[in-house]
Structure formats: structure tokens, C-alpha cells
Structure 1
Amino acid sequence: MAPGGNRGWLLRLVIAFSFAQGAVSMARPAVSYRALALGADERAIGVIAGVYALLPLFAAVPLGRRTDHGRCAPLLPVGVVLISGGCAMSGIANSLWGMAVWSGVMGLGHLCFVIGAQSLVARQSAPHEQDRNFGHFTIGASLGQLVGPIAAGALIGGRDMAGTSAFALLVAGAGGAVALTSLWHIESRTTSKSREEQGERVPVRRILRARGVPAGIFISLAVLSATDILTAYLPVVGEHRGIAPSVIGLLLSLRAAASIACRLVLTPLLRLLGRTLLLTVTCLLAALLCAGIAL
């Protein structure tokens, strides 16, 4: 199928991403609650949250290289399987080390899925459709981030925190597996550029020296770190202050709803402020708001 043709694949990809991201967004706070129930302190929660990104740290570049050669097909189902397995096994694990390992598997699965999906959108979209198709693609992430924490908060609670959080993780694993139904044959209907058409292999060092890339990496690192800390530690803050898991889930979903609202006004804000000023202002605002939550 030529780029810019029938976009049924895009709808199926958005649906799959909704379920996969929903599973991750449901599992992340559930992991914190289950770890607390198993006796974890704040440092252990941080380690478990950090391990989530440990495997992706080493796998990101090799997986990116794989998609450069048009081999993104296996990444989507493999990512879903790792996400679902990581969620389910985190619910079964009875030790903090076990939860950390399966949290890492979940993070690796999320990376596989996102890299494969982004590569698919880029390859299958005509140049004039890329911005629109990527915008539609992110709807899947937003829906998952919106629904996942609410679902986790609704299932977790009561005196048996360990049991209800384990059940939430099993539900997250089952929900993530639903994404496979939308991915069925999605790759066989798409085509990719041949290896010869993709040009020479660019060294990572040259990419890092390109103008704007180090700054972009640093900003992404700061924003995603803040988001991960909020997701992992808001349940801890809630437990210390007697806030119910259902309320914590609602707060995390409000963050996702705010991100959807920001996307709606992103284009006029870019025209008004420009990219550099917009990045600076929003990062400072986010820092103040994170500090406000702590206070």
C-alpha cells in the first residue's frame, strides 16, 4: 500500500495504542501500591520506577537502527506481549526484586511498541499527512493515559491493598493483550522503503552533535523524568496523607486530560510564542506545579 492511501491501518494502530498505553498507565500506579503493600519504602519505589527505564536505555538505539531498515513489523506485537506479560507478572510477583524485573520488562515493551508504531506512521504517511497522522496517533496515548489511572484507582483499595493492586495489574495485562486484536495483519498491509533507499548509516555521535539534538534530549529527559516521578510517587504521597487510591487515579487522569487540552492549543501557541519561548515557559510552569504538589 502506498503512503497516503487507505488509513484503516492508522485507526487500528490508534486503537492498539489506546489499549497498550492504558495498560501501562494502569500498571504504573498499581505497581507502586503493590510495592507499598509488600513493605517497600520510598527508596525501593524509586528503584522500581528507575528499572522501568533501565532496559529501554540500552535497547533504544539498537531498536531504532532496526526500524531504519524497515524492520518495524515485529516490534508492535512483541511490545504488546512484553507490556501484558510485565503487567501480569508484576501482579503475581511476591518480592520487590521480582516487581523491579517485571517493571523493566514492561518498560522495554512500551519502548518496542512506541518505536515500531512511530516508524510505521512515518513510513505510511505522505509528507503532507505526517503532522495530522502523528496527531491522530497520539490520541491513542492520551486515551490510554486518561482511562488507565482511573481504572487502577477504581480497583485498588480497602484493607487488602496487596490483593487489589495485584488484581489491577492482572486486569492491566489482560487489557494490554487486547491490543493484539487490532494489530492482526496490520503489518502485512503496509510497505517500507528498501534498505538501499534509506541512505548511509549515520553514527550516533554525529546525530548527537547536530544542532538542537542535545537540548531536545535534555528537555525530553527532564519532562519525562518529572512525569515518571509523579506517576510513581503520587500513590506514595497519597498513602502518607490518607488520600484514597481512587482519588490518586483521578488526579493522574487529570494530568492526561490536561495534556490533551494542550495539544488542542499547541498550534496557536507556537504561532504566538515560538518554539523556544514556549518550551521555556511551559517547563518553568511545570516545575512550579510539581513543587506545588509536593507542598
Structure 2
Amino acid sequence: MALLIRIYAIIFGMETMLYMTRPVISLLGTQLGASTFDIGLLTASYAFLPVIFAIYLGKMTDRIGDKIPNIAGVIGMMIGMFLPYVWPSLTALYISQMIIGISRIMVTISLQNMVGRIAAPAQRDQYYGWLSMSVALGGVFGPIIGGYIAHNTSYVHTFFISVLVGIIPFLLSWFIPDQRGERSLPALNHSKSNNPDAGGGSFSLLRSTTLRKALLSSALVLYSRDIFVAYFPLLGAEWGMSDIGIGWIIAIQSMAMVAVRLFLSPLTKRYSREVVLIGSILIAGIAFMFVPLTTPFILMAVISTAMGLGLGCGQPLSMTTIFNASPPDRTGEVLGLRLSTNRLSQVVAPLFFGFIGASAGIASVFYLSGIFLIGGALLTRTSSSEVEEHSKTSGL
């Protein structure tokens, strides 16, 4: 349990550090002369390197263990945060986002892999739920702290303070074990003899229908969260909302993500994991479409809450499904594949929505994103025969 607390503290510190600056990036970029399309390009730059290297980093984690990639990732994020403070320019923001993006992937793969190895199969929903809750809590405190710093000092000072916050996860990272190899506790009924994908390339893993649909749902949730964090500050600024108000709206969404994860275990026991996942994505999609229609702060807070309740279920449920569907000696690789898929959506979506926003206005970004979420939720539906097949192969 002490190890889990350290893991959750590291991810909480990293996410607080990250979300102190994420809403500020769009506002600072606009201040430096960026257009709506430039904001999309800036948002996409965060995910560009992970698309290329996430699978390789997952394989590396399986080979060398979790500790070194985690420490390297924390250091990289601190460097990336410091850059816009000493060199406030659009060029620095692009470089900063690329460094932060690849560094965060290293931390994420390491800690997700470690949690999956610690947990017995029956505990994974709960443990990954706590991990996601730590992420969401960082998303609560980060925007609030960042909003107050930006309002009372400047946007670039927010980056400097985030580096100071990063000292805590950096120190904690030295006190996690250097785990590697197969899962330390009894896990799934996978072996190279009965798993045709165990010895193949990374993309051979996509033969699993369950894995493909889990990857799709994970990508839908993550890109939607990023689109909201990137474009709502611009929409809020159009409405005349203050930096503090924008930070609170984003934080309220994260609070809802935390709240729903407290009830995730009983929800999945009462209903199937698929029903909870599809229902939550549908709720998020509908909420997205109401964002441009709710300029009053209170109504926007309600919509943000509904969106958070929807998005809050997606990540932990998809993480559990993906880990359960992976060969025992390739968990880091599969998590890398998940993150590579997520980051691909985070490259394509901001560029696409940046073009849409520049052409048809920022409100159109939210309408179209809502439609995509609703359509994607329907695509992730799994037939009863697929569920039965997955249960047989996974031993669950």
C-alpha cells in the first residue's frame, strides 16, 4: 500500500504541474499572436513525439524496468515547463509542448505498468480507478492554482511555479522499485503457447476486437478532454470570463471526474463494464454540444460537471480492459500502444478542430466534437459473442 501511495502521489504532482499550464498555453499563445489554427497546431505538438515513440518506450519499460523511465520523464517535464519562462515565444511553446508530451508518456507508461503488476486481476478496476482519480485531482487543483497565478502575476510565471511543484514527484520517484518482467502477482491466463499475438509485432495485438474497441474508447475520452482544455479558454475569453473563472470551470470538470470514480466499482458490478463505458461517453458527447449555448457561469459549471461525469469513467475502464487483454510479458508494450493511439488522436483532432474553429468559429469545435463522441460510443459497442470470447481468452 505504501508503494501505491507513492505512485499516486507522483502522478498527482505531475498532473497538477501539467494542468497548471495547459489552460494557460492557449491564452499565452493568443497573447503572443497565435491564431485559432495555431492553437490547434500547438495542442497537437504535445502529442506528436509520443505517436512515434510510445510503443518503443513501452518495450523499453518492459526491458529495463519502470524506475529509470519515470525519473527521466519527471526531469523532462520540468525542463519543458521551464522553457517558456526563460524564452516566452511561440517557438518556445512548440518545443516545450513536444518535450512535455514525450516526458509525460514515460511517466505514464511506467506508473500504469507498475500499478497493473501490483494488482491482482480482481483489484485492477479499483487500483486503476485510484490512479485515474489521482490524475483527476491534479486536474482539479492545477487549473485553479494556474488561474490565480496567471491572474495575479503573468502567464509565464505559471510555468515557473509549475517547475517548483515538480520537485515533489521528482524526489518521490527515487523511492519506487525497479520492477521489470512479468506481472508479480497471478494475472491472466495468457501464455505464448495459447496467445497468437505473444510473439508478433506490436500491431499484431490489434487482432483482438476487445483491445481495438478499448483503444478507441480511450482515445475518444482523452482527445475530448484535451479539446475542452485547449479551446474552452478561448471561448471563455470571448465571453469575457476571467482567467480565474476559466480555471474553475476546468477544475469543476475534474472534480466530477474524481466523484464518479468513487462509484466506479459499484457501477461496473451493477451494470456491465461496456454499459458504463458507452453510457459515460454518450453523456460527455451530449454535454459537449451544450457548451456553446451556456454562457452564464453557473450553467457552464453544470455542463462541465456532466461532461466530467461522462469522461471520468472512460480512462480507468479502458486501462483495465487493455491490461487484461495483453500478454503478461508485454504489458508495457500494450500500454505504449494505447498511449500511441491516444496521442495520434491528440495530434489529428486539434489540427482538424483548429481548422474547423478558424473557418466556422470556436463554437463549432464543441458541436462537432460532441457528434464524434456520440458516434464513437456507438462504434465501441461489443456484441455478446465478443464478450464471451474475451472472457474465455482472458480467464476472467
Question: Normalized against structure 2, the TM-score is what?
Answer: 0.66
TM-score when normalising by structure 1 = 0.88
- The letter for the 2-side match of 1:253 is A
Distance in structure 1 (CA, Å) of the matches to 2:20 and 2:199: 38
Contact 2:49/2:98, CA 8 A, preserved across alignment = yes
The question of 1:106 aligning with 2:94 is answered no
Flag the 1:279–1:11 CA change in 2: closer, same or farther, 3 A. Answer: closer
CA distance in 2 between partners of 1:267 and 1:52 (Å) = 32
2:43 pairs with one of 45, 49, 52: 49
1:223 corresponds in structure 2 to: 221
Q: Does 1:169 align with 2:167?
A: no
1:84-136 CA-to-partner distances (Å, cap 9, x unmatched) read: 11112133333212211211111111111010111122233445544443333
Residue matched to 2:388:
none
Aligned mates of 2:266, 2:122 — CA distance in 1? 19
User: Taking every aligned residue pair, what percent have the same amino acid on both sides?
Assistant: 25
Structure 1 residue 233: Cα displacement: 1.0
3-state SS of 1:184 partner = helix
| SS in structure 1 of the partner of residue 33 of structure 2 | coil
**1:193 aligns to 2:181 (yes or no):** yes
Match status 1:23 vs 2:21: no
The number of residue pairs the alignment matches comes to 282
- Correspondences of 1:272-287 after superposition (within 5 Å): 272-287=270-285
SS of equivalent residue, structure 1 residue 69: helix
Q: Please, which of 252, 255, 258 is the counterpart of residue 257 of structure 1? A: 255
Q: 2:207 aligns with which of 193, 196, 209?
A: 209
1:179 to 169, 190, 193: 169
- Tell whether 2:110 aligns with 1:116: yes
How far apart, CA to CA, are the structure 2 residues paired with 1:211 and 1:201? 18
Deviations 1:205-230 (A, max 9, x none): 22111122222222222211111010
Cα deviation 1:234-272 (Å, max 9, x = unaligned)? 111121111001011001111111111111222333234
CA contact (8 A) 1:90 1:103 kept: no
Distance 1:40 1:206 in 2: 41
Structure 1 counterpart of 2:289: 291
Query: 239-248 or 115-124: which moved more?
Result: 115-124
1:3 is aligned to: none
Counterpart pick for 2:76 among 82, 93, 117: 82
Of 222, 239, 242, which residue of structure 2 is paired with 1:241? 239
Counterparts in 2 of 1:13 and 1:106: CA distance versus 1, 3 Å:
same
> In the aligned structure 1, how far is the partner of 2:221 from the partner of 2:182?
35
Q: Tell me if structure 2 keeps the 8 A contact 1:81–1:177.
A: no
Q: Contact 1:147/1:253 (CA < 8 Å) preserved in 2? A: yes
Q: Structure 2, unaligned stretches of length 5 or more?
A: 184-190, 193-197, 294-396
User: What residue is the counterpart of 1:67 in the other structure?
Assistant: 61
CA RMSD of aligned residues (A): 2.2
The Cα offsets for residues 168-216 of structure 1, whole Å up to 9 and x where unpaired, read as 111112212321111223235xx43379xx9654422221111222222
Contact 2:133 2:257 in 1 (8 A): no
Q: For structure 1, which segment, 12-21 or 146-155, has the greater mean C-alpha deviation from structure 2 after superposition?
A: 12-21
